[in-house]
Structure 1
Amino acid sequence: MKRAPERTRKLHSGHFAFMRAVAQGLDARSAWDRYLRLEGEHVDTRKVNSTIAWIRSEFAAAARREAKPGTARLVLIDASLLPETVKLPTLEEFARERGLEDFSEAEQAEAYEETYGGKSRRTSRRAQLVNRQLDALRWLEHLVAQDPKPGDAVGVWLTPALADRIERAGMPTLFALVERINGVGRRWWTGIPGIGELKAARIVEWLEIHEAAIGMTIGEHARKPRMQLQPAELGAVVPQSTALVPFEKFLVPAELDGSAGRYRADPALCMLEAANDYEAIVEWLSSKRSAEGDKQSSTQRAYRKEAERLLLWSILERQKPLSSLSVADVTAFKAFLEAPPRSWCGHRYHQRWSPLWRPLEGALKPSAVRQALIILRGLFTFLRDQNYMVGNPFAGVTLPAETSRKLGSQRALSFEQWDIISSQLGQDPDNIAARRRDRAIRWLYATGLRLAEMVDARCSDLRQHEFRDAEGVERVGWLLGVVGKGSKFREVPVPPELIDELGDEFARMGRSMNVKAEENADVAILARFSKGGAAVPPATWSDSGLYKAIHGFMQRLALQLDESDAKRIRMASTHWLRHTHASHALKGREGQTPVPLLVVQNNLGHSSIATTSGYLNTEETERLKAMSAFWGKNAPTT
């Protein structure tokens, strides 16, 4: 069984510097802020006093271990309780005591100086004690003061309360803590209960003071707000290397680059401008480019993910060029996807610039393994057809059985659960980020858009349309044009209330509240507005930023709910809102007419109506209730 890291707290040079200041009577608050800010606020007198008592007890214990009981007693004394000066008699009292009343004042003063002059210049009892304590502290510091090391448990250096919270968040050591900070950035502390911005800043400050000893540096990117970082700054965080890094950062060793791969076709007949496997993958990905030009489509990202995993595995695990993989290798890769090593797995929130990025989250489900093998089979078919390779090893591997994907109740919220979420929108403190997140939740539920489709939506994609409602009244509605999977265009209805809300947000930001105004044409519907008004072009909200914001909202909301609802809402993601849209639209609330199947199919962008109809038949509770009534009246007899 693996032992947990030692958590007995250690003394560092800051503890000794602080206690020297205390012993000398210097301003304790200034010394605390300079050396022990990590312990808490200096205004918390109980905390300061308990910390001083703990340090003194540690000093005394160290002295006793060295068989120095006198030193142990010495460091436990509070010198401030002793009088600061030695009380001397006045000149008149001195003359009277010595019988010098008849002498001149000058003669009395001379005698006084002869008697007390040396003593008056000698240090007081308190000062003598302080000097002895300072000598003891110098000796103890040389003996017991330690520098933090990357493998140390956080509990060795942080207060127990801080250490417990950080350990529960998956950072047991200083190494893991610095990795988290560099991997997430300035707001690394979000999502860790009990760690706010102030405590986080103190932890980073302490790590920066000791970064030479720890041997790890807090990156510049982790000191700035994300919005102030340029893409080049993030791109420089992880250098190119032959390691678990994204495709664009991966350096393929020359001996494994596939320029002489075992299954390479005659280069003279190859139709690709690719001298090695990496360049061949790049050409394959380029062939999947969407009609939008340089912008990477969701299809390209999905294909890159699978090619990336295979390339990394082939070089790092199999020690083979991609163009030397055999059917046996592909079989091994399939098993790898089903049970990857822990070192290959990381949280999906870690973006590609982050040192914490990993190619997998964990073992893939059979459906995901099947999809990966299909995509990679397509890659090798492309390479074979372009005469880059002589065959396709993925064609020789049996795909996992295709299983029907459950929709509806499996990944959708009930009407009641959606009402809980809806009621909480707008309840957080009013700020730009909270309003943007709330708008995103409303738009995703109302339209059923995919995450990438929602992020890409612009005001120019909106158009008004006149129509007659069910009562024959002329009305003006809104449609949002979307380019979805397979570059297929569709238009999705949008509630007028969401358009009005968007216009109000534009007005808040100093823009025209008319969403169709020329100045708003290129503005993303979920734009990251700043307070600079129309003069500052709003940035686009990233897929991962939107996902994390909604995920965090759901997690916090779940903490307030009963377990049954909390479990479902805790699991809810942006894609759950899409499923919830479909499920609710097709069923309709009580007294509400269900939305026709073909309309929901269009909203979701499904190619087949059979896919959309899956939402109609997956509510187990409803099916069992209906059949129970049938069975009750038509129970089979024996």
Structure 2
Amino acid sequence: MMTAPSPCLPEVFKSLEISLLAAPAATPVVGTGQRTPIIRASNDREAAASFLREFQDSPHTHRAYKRETLRLLMWCEAIARKSFSDLVREDVDDYFAFLSAPPADWISPGRHEVGSPEWRPFRGPLKGSSLRYVKLVCDSLFSYLVEAHYLAANPFSLARKRTREVATDEPIAPPTARRHQLPDDALQLAYEWINGLPDKTASQRCRKMRFRATLSLFLFTGGRLSEIANANTQNLAHEKGRWTLWVIGKGGKKAGLPLPPTLVRDLTEYRLANGLAAYPTMGERTPLLSKLLQPSEGISDNMVYREVKAILKGAGEIAHERGRDELEHLLKHSSTHWLRHTTIGATVEATQDLQLAQQLGRHSSVTTTSIYSTLADEQFHDKVSETLEGVFGSL
């Protein structure tokens, strides 16, 4: 596999991102396929941009697909030095090998905003389900470009063996939705860390209340990062004493998320600390989460993510001080999506009502929701353990 230095990755990425956001070319041109393309693209960047525009109505999918598309474009331009039309089946293996062990200068030591000098395409090597997801996105991208007559063939569609190989990289373990849940004592430490923050100045109190409102928004709604970060007071409805937050989720689907009393309390206390009235006024349009003492200025998805990571890190430090190493490890590796898993899992465990949890999680199939249920596994474990202990335990 070819290797090459990549001295200006943020600049390369910025150039790529500008290309992907640019307006399509004025007219379709004959590209690298056998027929006239039916998309307006004269090069790979424009072709990739056309593909990504198909997902503009689904922010979560668009963001994830954009990340993988940019990684592939960067690899093609900086490492392989090939266009999409030049890629063959063996290049697919080279690309997956690259993803499994990216060079050090492609890896960021932390989470940074795009365009930052510290930004890099990776946080570390990819493996298991992450590689399978890359395969899915790249296969989808190339299939689209073949169907659009921009490319003649899709080398990713031939990579059947790769999918089976990466599947064996992961340890045998319970589903991610179960493993990525935080126990009650971890959540208690998170709120304990928040409660211990200073609040003598207006800025300190606002920051403290924003931390609490942020954590509660995720835990009490099961919302996704983009839904929480983009929520504003016009998305709220108050009817018959019930508060509801309306969001647009995956696939552009609207959903109303109930706001329990504790969450409403945390939001009103945050509003008061931020210089607003306790409850939204008629016609008010302010972000639910905003900059400190600037209630009309919203914060980005990335900022909300970092807020949650700061809370979990603080809780992890308390766990470390108390010798709770396993809990510290769990908190260190958790994220906003872990909170969503935690909420749905807690709902299933408390109610054993899969349809209720399905509606909360907005899963298209109850089969997805059933992954969160441990009841059948626990009953199976207890029955088998009791039976075989009785049969063989006295030998």
TM-score of the alignment, normalized to the shorter chain, above 0.5: yes
Aligned to 2:72, which of 279, 287, 310? 310
Whichever residue aligns with residue 605 of structure 1, its letter is R
**How far does the alpha carbon of each residue in 1:75-114 deviate from its partner, in whole angstroms, 9 at most, with x for none?**
xxxxxxxxxxxxxxxxxxxxxxxxxxxxxxxxxxxxxxxx
The alignment's TM-score, normalised by the length of structure 2, stands at: 0.82
Partners of 2:10 and 2:262 in 1: how far apart?
48
Instruction: Give the 3 Å change call, closer, same or farther, for CA 350–558 of structure 1 in structure 2.
Output: same
Structure-2 residue corresponding to 1:542: 300
Shift of 1:508: 3.6
Structure-1 residue corresponding to 2:334: 572
Aligned to 2:85, the other structure's residue is in SS state helix
1:282 equivalent to 2:49? Answer yes
Query: Contact 1:408–1:619 (CA<8 Å) still a contact in 2?
Result: no
Instruction: Give the 3 Å change call, closer, same or farther, for CA 619–517 of structure 1 in structure 2.
Output: farther
Partners of 1:585 and 1:385 in 2: how far apart?
43
Query: Contact 1:606–1:612 (CA<8 Å) still a contact in 2?
Result: yes
**How far does the alpha carbon of each residue in 1:97-151 deviate from its partner, in whole angstroms, 9 at most, with x for none?**
xxxxxxxxxxxxxxxxxxxxxxxxxxxxxxxxxxxxxxxxxxxxxxxxxxxxxxx
Partners of 2:143 and 2:370 in 1: how far apart?
33
Aligned to 1:524, which of 279, 287, 312? 287
Structure-2 residue corresponding to 1:480: 245
Structure-2 residue corresponding to 1:559: 317
Query: Contact 1:409–1:619 (CA<8 Å) still a contact in 2?
Result: no
1:514 equivalent to 2:286? Answer no
Whichever residue aligns with residue 264 of structure 1, its letter is T
Whichever residue aligns with residue 548 of structure 1, its letter is R
Aligned to 2:128, which of 366, 379, 396? 366
Whichever residue aligns with residue 39 of structure 2, its letter is L
Partners of 1:623 and 1:491 in 2: how far apart?
36
Q: What aligned pairs does 1:224-623 form with structure 2 within 5 A after superposition?
A: 241=11, 243=12, 247-248=16-17, 264-266=32-34, 269-290=36-57, 297-398=59-160, 399-401=162-164, 406-430=175-199, 431=204, 432-466=206-240, 476-515=241-280, 517-519=282-284, 522-530=285-293, 538-561=296-319, 562=323, 563-588=325-350, 594=351, 596-617=353-374
Aligned to 1:564, the other structure's residue is in SS state helix
Structure 2: give runs of 5+ residues left out of the alignment.
1-7, 21-27
Whichever residue aligns with residue 492 of structure 1, its letter is L
**How far does the alpha carbon of each residue in 1:548-574 deviate from its partner, in whole angstroms, 9 at most, with x for none?**
222122223222222232222222221
Partners of 2:376 and 2:229 in 1: how far apart?
30
Instruction: Give the 3 Å change call, closer, same or farther, for CA 284–392 of structure 1 in structure 2.
Output: same
Structure-1 residue corresponding to 2:4: none
Shift of 1:316: 0.8
Instruction: Give the 3 Å change call, closer, same or farther, for CA 415–556 of structure 1 in structure 2.
Output: closer
Instruction: Give the 3 Å change call, closer, same or farther, for CA 336–619 of structure 1 in structure 2.
Output: farther
Shift of 1:618: 8.7
Aligned to 1:568, the other structure's residue is in SS state helix
Structure-2 residue corresponding to 1:106: none
Partners of 1:286 and 1:400 in 2: how far apart?
27
Instruction: Give the 3 Å change call, closer, same or farther, for CA 622–391 of structure 1 in structure 2.
Output: same
Instruction: Give the 3 Å change call, closer, same or farther, for CA 348–606 of structure 1 in structure 2.
Output: farther
Structure 1: give runs of 5+ residues left out of the alignment.
1-237, 252-258, 292-296, 467-475, 532-536, 589-593
**How far does the alpha carbon of each residue in 1:342-401 deviate from its partner, in whole angstroms, 9 at most, with x for none?**
221114511102111111112212211111111111111111111111111111111413
Whichever residue aligns with residue 304 of structure 2, its letter is L
Partners of 1:489 and 1:464 in 2: how far apart?
17
**How far does the alpha carbon of each residue in 1:532-558 deviate from its partner, in whole angstroms, 9 at most, with x for none?**
xxxxx6222222212222212222322
Percent identity, aligned pairs only?
Answer: 26
Instruction: Give the 3 Å change call, closer, same or farther, for CA 392–415 of structure 1 in structure 2.
Output: same
Partners of 1:529 and 1:493 in 2: how far apart?
26
Instruction: Give the 3 Å change call, closer, same or farther, for CA 319–631 of structure 1 in structure 2.
Output: same
Query: Contact 1:384–1:390 (CA<8 Å) still a contact in 2?
Result: yes
Partners of 1:564 and 1:505 in 2: how far apart?
32
Partners of 1:615 and 1:332 in 2: how far apart?
37
Partners of 1:408 and 1:630 in 2: how far apart?
30
Instruction: Give the 3 Å change call, closer, same or farther, for CA 239–530 of structure 1 in structure 2.
Output: farther
Query: Contact 2:100–2:127 (CA<8 Å) still a contact in 1?
Result: yes
Query: Contact 2:209–2:273 (CA<8 Å) still a contact in 1?
Result: no
Partners of 1:635 and 1:245 in 2: how far apart?
66
| Larger relative contact order, structure 1 or 2 (CA cutoff 8 Å, min sep 6) | 2
The alignment's TM-score, normalised by the length of structure 1, stands at: 0.52
Partners of 2:147 and 2:333 in 1: how far apart?
43
Query: Contact 1:529–1:538 (CA<8 Å) still a contact in 2?
Result: no
Shift of 1:514: 2.1
Partners of 1:382 and 1:580 in 2: how far apart?
36
Shift of 1:625: 5.9
Partners of 2:108 and 2:51 in 1: how far apart?
27
Partners of 1:616 and 1:351 in 2: how far apart?
37
Residue correspondences, number: 365
Aligned to 2:271, the other structure's residue is in SS state helix
Structure-1 residue corresponding to 2:23: none
Whichever residue aligns with residue 251 of structure 2, its letter is G
Choose 389-398 or 491-500, whichever is displaced more.
491-500
Query: Contact 2:289–2:298 (CA<8 Å) still a contact in 1?
Result: yes
Q: What aligned pairs does 1:85-164 form with structure 2 within 5 A after superposition?
A: none
Partners of 1:332 and 1:350 in 2: how far apart?
27
Query: Contact 1:448–1:604 (CA<8 Å) still a contact in 2?
Result: yes
Query: Contact 2:19–2:46 (CA<8 Å) still a contact in 1?
Result: no
Query: Contact 1:408–1:618 (CA<8 Å) still a contact in 2?
Result: no
Aligned to 1:616, the other structure's residue is in SS state coil
Partners of 1:260 and 1:449 in 2: how far apart?
43
Query: Contact 2:233–2:288 (CA<8 Å) still a contact in 1?
Result: yes
Partners of 2:348 and 2:220 in 1: how far apart?
13
Whichever residue aligns with residue 363 of structure 2, its letter is H
Partners of 1:408 and 1:248 in 2: how far apart?
32
Shift of 1:422: 3.0
Instruction: Give the 3 Å change call, closer, same or farther, for CA 497–617 of structure 1 in structure 2.
Output: closer
Query: Contact 1:408–1:616 (CA<8 Å) still a contact in 2?
Result: no
Partners of 2:330 and 2:381 in 1: how far apart?
20
